Amino acid sequence: MNKKTQVGIVGAGPSGLLLSHLLHLEGIDSVVLEARSRKYVEERVRAGVLEQGTVDLLCNTGLGDRLRREGLEHHGIELRFDGRGHRIALSDLTDGRSIWIYGQREVVKDLINTRLVSDGTIHFEVDDVSLTGVDSSSPALSYRKDGTDHNLECDFITGCDGFHGVSRESIPAGVLRTYHHVYPFGWLGILAAVAPSTEELIYAYHDRGFALHSLRSPEISRLYIQVDPDEDINNWPDDRIWEELSVRMATDDGWKLRTGPVLEKGIAPMRSFVVEPMQYGRLFLAGDAAHIVPATGAKGLNLAVHDVHKLSRALTAWYRRGSDEPLKQYSANCLDRVWRVQDFSSFMSLMLHRFSGDDGFKTRLQRAQLKYVCRSEAAARSLAENYVGLPHV
């Protein structure tokens, strides 16, 4: 069965769904092809920090109601080490910009609901998506749905299918430059049915390893500990996780970590990954399909949003004014921000994680960095403007 659309989108994560939404607002038709079920996509536990630009874009495009109602606006984060907490006053340091805590799964639910209410086309549980003709003016997507083969003719294809997707692999060998750094640690994350023990995020540096106390709502906490990259989750019963979190986040003034039922837990590797360019012919990559950042900087979702905002404006210029220049510049316009975010995410990761085999040199540099950020307004401002995300940074 042959069909046609203006923009074929592979992947119904935040990148693909937001792109489809932004194109719809410009009167541009798209079809989203997703390998997994709607339930799976909506229930995946992922990140939870929205930087100012992401919140502004969602609110300015009709996606802010539940975010504003249920999200939590934060104006600072805490760096905790040597038994003491040091607040980084994000908003004071960035002329009032803030971050919002609102789970990625909630963003995805809002996007799916909004697209379907607007009669958007999202095909879930499709198999064998394949891209053809991406170097021609008539690319196409073939796929199978409910046992029937389909062919979707497109003007453009956007690869929003994440790190393990097919789009990037559709670009001929030798075209892409790939940059890939795997960190010597992973994150064990839990979602717990317990009220957060803190008002703001706590990034803890400890001899036993990094720990992070984030949150999802007044009733749900999200916490992480640094583990070996090949650690087996079965070695971590809930009690051991809570104990390790308590040790790594302990303070001299007796701060207590509330514990409770663990709803979900898992281990994720930490890597930095970028492909250049982020486009080939009529194929454009966005989000995790083009880059991965270590979660320490809370940037993955926000960088994806930045990509698709640029891409939606470039596609609009092509359809509205017949101008192909923004599309030609898409990759260059994104990569400037991608590498800024890679640098910040690497800075946070190298400052806060313990590295086995260190002879003490690295830990001394880390402490010097932590103390500098906590004592110097200039250093704190640099961290703050990267964390909240500034348009010009």
Binding interface with ligand PHB (CB under 6 A): 47-49, 201, 212, 214, 222, 295-296, 298
| DSSP labels, 148-185 | EEEEEEEEEEEE---TT-STGGGSPTTS-EEEEEEEEE
Helices within 160-285 (DSSP H only)? 238-249
Q: Residue 342 interacts with ligand APR (CB under 6 A)? A: no
Q: Residue 33 interacts with ligand APR (CB under 6 A)? A: yes
Which residues 6+ apart lie within 8 Å of 106 measured at CB? 66, 67, 70, 71
- Least distance in Å: CB of 303 to ligand PHB? 13
Residue 295 has what DSSP assignment? G
- Least distance in Å: CB of 214 to ligand PHB? 3
- Least distance in Å: CB of 38 to ligand APR? 10
Cis peptide before 277 (omega within 30 of 0): yes
Q: Report phi then psi at 221, rounded to 5.
A: -110, 150
Distances in Å between the alpha carbon of 173 and those of 164, 219, 283? Answer: 17, 49, 15
211 binds, among ligand PHB, ligand APR, none (CB under 5 to 8 A by kind): none
296 binds, among ligand PHB, ligand APR, none (CB under 5 to 8 A by kind): ligand PHB
Q: Residue 36 interacts with ligand APR (CB under 6 A)? A: yes
Length of the chain measured in residues: 393
- E strands within 277-391? 279-280, 283-285, 291-292
Binding residue (CB under 6 A) for ligand APR from 23, 31, 129, 171:
129
Tell me which residue of 350, 351, 347 sits closest to 385, measured CA to CA: 347
Q: Residue 327 interacts with ligand APR (CB under 6 A)? A: no
Helical packing angle, 14-25 and 104-117, nearest 10°? 40
- Least distance in Å: CB of 249 to ligand APR? 23
Q: Residue 110 interacts with ligand APR (CB under 6 A)? A: no
Binding residue (CB under 6 A) for ligand APR from 288, 297, 330, 366:
288
Query: For residues 202-261, which are near ligand APR according to CB under 6 A?
Result: none
Distance from C-alpha of 183 to C-alpha of 181, rounded to nearest angstrom: 6
- Least distance in Å: CB of 7 to ligand PHB? 30
Which is closer to ligand APR, CB of 161 or CB of 200?
161
301 binds, among ligand APR, ligand PHB, none (CB under 5 to 8 A by kind): ligand APR
129 binds, among ligand PHB, ligand APR, none (CB under 5 to 8 A by kind): ligand APR
209 and 375 in contact (C-beta within 8 Å)?
no
- Least distance in Å: CB of 46 to ligand PHB? 7
300 binds, among ligand APR, ligand PHB, none (CB under 5 to 8 A by kind): ligand APR
Distance from C-alpha of 165 to C-alpha of 269, rounded to nearest angstrom: 17
Binding residue (CB under 6 A) for ligand APR from 12, 157, 249, 311:
12
The residue ranges that bind ligand APR (CB under 6 A) are 10-16, 33-36, 41, 46-47, 104, 129, 160-162, 165-166, 287-288, 300-301, 304
